[in-house]
Structure 1
């Protein structure tokens, strides 16, 4: 693609991947971050510092500059969007709001999930606020023609991120022959996407009129059970038969209260997606990084960087307590 693209935020995992892909495809990219970038910025990118949630600060930085597409990576509540409709309404051909597939209420009434599946998250605060943002911007699109596109990633990862709540601790425990706890019976289905694949699907949506007025779930077809996710990481780490212990979400939350919300309202539910709309908007897109390959990249990166291999001793102790319960007898709470 070519064109003038503005990223509001976007120096995190998927934003950085999208920046690399946009520059590789010929975009003239400007990124505004609140502080110094945490990740490398591609050569040729114009980097500005400011608070993108402050309309006056945006106006001071950008004046009357115009864009083919503006991408907001860092709006999490409607308050974060204050002034954006008014300021960008006649300054961009497209305004892309980065939402999340977590907006779809669990349990999902009908699988696979499509863009028209019900949005409902009365408990999970992050998703509830993203729904409110979507509704706010959709109203602006209906009432004033605000050039909105909603993009919903799901569970993305790259080599710096172990896509488990237990992070690198799980990998180290598998290597040591210690038990790793998996919620439910390990067979619920989950969808993962490498950030490079997200970027390859995402960048072609920018500056394209056919995506305006649309929401699109940018997800891969890499569907695995939670046991398979753990097993692929174990294989990548050189472990043939990891010790996986299955406990109910409720039992895990008793030992690890910080996991309660995400387990009970997110990870315990099967998440399968219909990618028909993504294929229509980005013809020919196909993910290139299987999770088997992605897991190898994760392990190689962590093995090469001492500082990345953090182990949570308290989490390990909680896993030991949960595993001891299994040894003592069956888990009589509901297995989900």
Structure 2
């Protein structure tokens, strides 16, 4: 199989890249080359900015592919560019959408590919929906061979998956745990969530590549494991070897008092109970099973981060914000008790 990935080094795509290289796929990555030093030796790099359409067009002028996958498309304009570049050059075009595009609030916590798409809380999700709409029109009107893939919360060895964190990533929450500081969990921590290790996602994704039955289809790829947010944070604390000191805070309150887009990320996503039905994926990719349990995967992630100081990016502003939120709750409680 000959495949081209636009991106290929991110949380989701890096595991797919590794697994395909082990399987002997003729794989090309089109990116700016900022992470190319960590790539397998048999992966081919096309170094360019995908937004430089003329240059990319010249570089791929004489090339065709079995599969082209765009991991970094977030707006319909990105897909319009991809269509101009790859129409007639690939047997399958795969777009990475998002499970956050599913309706909020959900009418049924069990999510299938037939769950309506609508998210009034998060612009990111609405843009993904618009991207899907554009591609479906190209499929219907022009036969563009698309497959839409919807991941949910996928994690790797480089970052701890969390509900609430700052703009510098997740390390500051782990640092608070290690310093025996309280950490914020949105809501009461009992809503269900799904974490998927990127190596499991990769297995499902590769099974859809070159799969004639996946053309024109939308497919979600997640683990079947459901966890409460309390269980997720307990597993993280356990991997760090510390006791969890949790402070539960209303998602609405967090969204109202944060400079970050917690309204989109919480109200439009993580505050909702989600349980994914992966029956469609398993029909298309017989034998698919997500095998990395979260408590096992997060131990690998924590061990890697603790061993690599470069991944320990501090966030003093977020740390101060956490203390302010917790102090405000303590003050409000004290005023009521008095």
| TM-score, normalised by the number of residues in structure 1 | 0.92
**Aligned in 2, Cα 1:257/1:250: closer, same or farther, shift over 3 Å?**
farther
Report the Cα distance in structure 1 between the residues aligned to 2:277 and 2:173, rounded to whole angstroms: 31
**Aligned in 2, Cα 1:215/1:317: closer, same or farther, shift over 3 Å?**
same
User: Where does structure 2 lack aligned partners over 5 or more consecutive residues?
Assistant: none
**Aligned in 2, Cα 1:311/1:50: closer, same or farther, shift over 3 Å?**
closer
Report the Cα distance in structure 2 between the residues aligned to 1:34 and 1:17, rounded to whole angstroms: 19
Post-superposition CA distance 1:187-216 (Å, at most 9, x none): 111111011111111112111111111110
CA contact (8 A) 1:105 1:118 kept: yes
Report the Cα distance in structure 1 between the residues aligned to 2:179 and 2:81, rounded to whole angstroms: 53
CA contact (8 A) 1:16 1:39 kept: no
- 1:1-336 residue pairs with structure 2 within 5 A? 3-37=1-35, 40-164=38-162, 165-166=164-165, 167-239=170-242, 241-258=243-260, 259-330=262-333
Report the Cα distance in structure 2 between the residues aligned to 1:169 and 1:204, rounded to whole angstroms: 36
Post-superposition CA distance 1:243-281 (Å, at most 9, x none): 101111122234423133312221111111110001111
Post-superposition CA distance 1:268-301 (Å, at most 9, x none): 1111111000111111111121110111112111
Structure 1 moving runs of 4+ over 4 Å: 329-332
Report the Cα distance in structure 2 between the residues aligned to 1:326 and 1:84, rounded to whole angstroms: 49
Provide the aligned C-alpha RMSD in A: 1.9
- Aligned partner of residue 275 in structure 2, secondary structure: coil
Offset, 1:331: 10
Report the Cα distance in structure 1 between the residues aligned to 2:37 and 2:211, rounded to whole angstroms: 27
Post-superposition CA distance 1:112-134 (Å, at most 9, x none): 11111111123311111111111
- Aligned partner of residue 136 in structure 2, secondary structure: helix
- Aligned partner of residue 323 in structure 2, secondary structure: helix
| TM-score, normalised by the number of residues in structure 2 | 0.92
Post-superposition CA distance 1:155-177 (Å, at most 9, x none): 11111111113212222222222
